[in-house]
Chains A and B, each alone.
Chain A
């Protein structure tokens, strides 16, 4: 890890740092006192404690903290002091973002990397800078499409700047999510983001007709389920849309019935665009479809509950034995509801 610093002098050896008094790491607890770890790291952090104590905020502090976070990206005091120094110096914050781009990609699982960008964007107050950040996070997610920190940061940018003008920050989100789902239809982060964009963050420009949006989204989810019937993310999204728009599950019975047969060949041959059939070779019956149909029967109540119970039994004993206890609970609960 220290390869790129090997040819560099220690701070203790550099004349331009001679005016700083290094402060060694706390040594008070004998049993836990460090003895001899990396000389570079010890040297840099000793000088860091020195400049913090002196309260210095200068370009060389930026160089020093950059050095430390390269050795230890989780050193939050170095990040914090770097940020304060940038502000105190009136530094070019966009240049700081560019400096950090590659570093963020390499260290995308470090919280501090993203928090630093968030602070910079908050200080910049610039929708243009935020748009550049959306492009940056898209690049990062192209490498690791489920990175939680990167997603949360992107969601924060959208909500914080909340720029819903034509061509504003939110404008390209749905199309971009669709691209991600083209690449990996099982990307739960992308499905979650779609729900945020379409349903959970207010009404986007052009989305005012909520019934139409509900139909489009439901069709979108059905198409994706047809491609990969055992994908929980697409089913969750479909349920989310129905519940959010208060659409009865029963409206999807004909679609769902295509997925509960044990052999795709049993499915009707007629092409029905509203009810896309499972892709060839899909593993059927689909557990999510069985579960969905049981929910339909349970919602209908009365004698239909018996049909739900039959499905739950098949889930408990055959199709989803891992969750046997859960399905047994559903049977008890369903029967109790039917008696009530």
Chain B
């Protein structure tokens, strides 16, 4: 592993993502089965952004997604035979849209499942077990919007909960009363963007809080006095992009930090230089680079975290701003 590289190693990362499905004998594969659908979404989105969307078999992927349908609940689980979950359901919809196969979904049933998870406070549970937080609220808003069924959501109730999660520093937490955290800032900001309610945000204060996340080595952290991590390249940048303040980061330094977290032998991007890569950080590293205008990448929509072209075609584009694409 080396940190000397100054370029995004696209062919290597494509190979890395292709190799991920090949070790199903591992116990690790099964211990992470609850994230399988999400992992496929991360891999496929990263491939799309790197302009290699066909590097994984489309048919196999669609078959897998469909095999995760939980017919009792009327939504998708993360893996065949897993109970339906909102996060897996969003990933399934995103994958099928990227593969142009949304006709494989019983939209009415999925919408019913999603709406059934909204709690009296306005927040959403992830599944019938009832774990609640703003991540699931974003999953619901995003999925309903992608399915063209946002009008069935009780927007006031939903926004009411987000308001309760807003903190004195301008940020948002996972639940009412919880500390501001960049990942939660993303889910709340993006949900408000989809709902056309960015006026709920103290944009000056939040923009400043987000700019403060950049550390002397160029990387971004998720909370004050915490370590930098490549995944915040997406959580922080997407929020700044939605607030049209992405110009406030030192782009060259951040690009340098993300590139230094690449694994240069087998591919993939880690949370920080020298650590083991994984598909989550590979995806969010590539996503961050796209928003920073890194040459040769496709545009990423920061609100939906999907290829911008697809979101535009669906007529869902919100008013965000990334850095202009550089040429090599």
Q: Does A189 contact B (CB under 8 A)?
A: yes
Q: Does A186 contact B (CB under 8 A)?
A: yes
Distance to closest chain B CB from A295 (angstroms): 11
Majority SS at the chain B contact face: loop
Closest residue to B209 on the A side, CB-wise? A236
Q: Does A139 contact B (CB under 8 A)?
A: no
Chain A residues with CB under 8 A of B181: 148
Closest residue to B57 on the A side, CB-wise? A31
Name A172-207 residues within 8 Å CB distance of B. 186-189, 192-193, 195-196, 199-201
Interface Cβ pair total, 8 Å cutoff: 147
Residue contact A76 to B127, C-beta cutoff 8 Å: yes
Q: Does B214 contact A (CB under 8 A)?
A: yes
Distance to closest chain A CB from B72 (angstroms): 12
Question: Quick one: given A41-B30, A243-B168, are A32 and B64 in contact (CB under 8 Å)?
Answer: yes
Q: Does A125 contact B (CB under 8 A)?
A: no
- How far, in angstroms, from A222 to B163 measured CA to CA in the complex? 29
Residue contact A37 to B30, C-beta cutoff 8 Å: yes
Question: Quick one: given A32-B24, A329-B248, are A186 and B225 in contact (CB under 8 Å)?
Answer: yes
- Per-residue CB contact flags for chain A residues 110-149 toward chain B (1 = under 8 Å, else 0) read 0110010001000000000000000000000000001010
Q: Does A77 contact B (CB under 8 A)?
A: yes
Q: Does B160 contact A (CB under 8 A)?
A: no
Residue contact A155 to B177, C-beta cutoff 8 Å: yes
Residue contact B67 to A29, C-beta cutoff 8 Å: yes
Instruction: Pick the residue among B80, B130, B168, B169 that contacts A119 (CB under 8 A).
Output: B130
Distance to closest chain A CB from B228 (angstroms): 12
Question: Quick one: given A34-B29, A188-B223, A322-B253, are A152 and B131 in contact (CB under 8 Å)?
Answer: no
Number of interface residues of A (CB under 8 A): 61
Instruction: Pick the residue among B34, B179, B208, B250 that contacts A324 (CB under 8 A).
Output: B250
Chain A residues with CB under 8 A of B174: 148, 152
Instruction: Pick the residue among A31, A38, A186, A196 that contacts B27 (CB under 8 A).
Output: A38
Q: Does A72 contact B (CB under 8 A)?
A: yes
Distance to closest chain B CB from A70 (angstroms): 12
Residue contact A152 to B168, C-beta cutoff 8 Å: no
Residue contact B26 to A37, C-beta cutoff 8 Å: yes
- Per-residue CB contact flags for chain B residues 66-108 toward chain A (1 = under 8 Å, else 0) read 0100000000000111110100000000000000000000000
Residue contact A115 to B214, C-beta cutoff 8 Å: no
Residue contact A29 to B167, C-beta cutoff 8 Å: no
Sample (6) of A-B pairs whose CB atoms are under 8 Å apart: A41-B31, A49-B81, A146-B226, A236-B224, A323-B214, A329-B248
Which A residues form the contact surface with B (CB < 8 A)?
Answer: 1, 25-26, 28-29, 31-38, 41-42, 49, 71-72, 74-77, 79-80, 83, 111-112, 115, 119, 146, 148, 151-152, 155-156, 158-159, 186-189, 192-193, 195-196, 199-201, 231-233, 236, 240, 243-244, 322-326, 329
Which B residues form the contact surface with A (CB < 8 A)?
Answer: 21, 24-27, 29-32, 34, 57, 60, 63-64, 67, 79-83, 85, 127-131, 133, 167-169, 173-181, 208, 211-212, 214, 216, 223-226, 247-250, 253
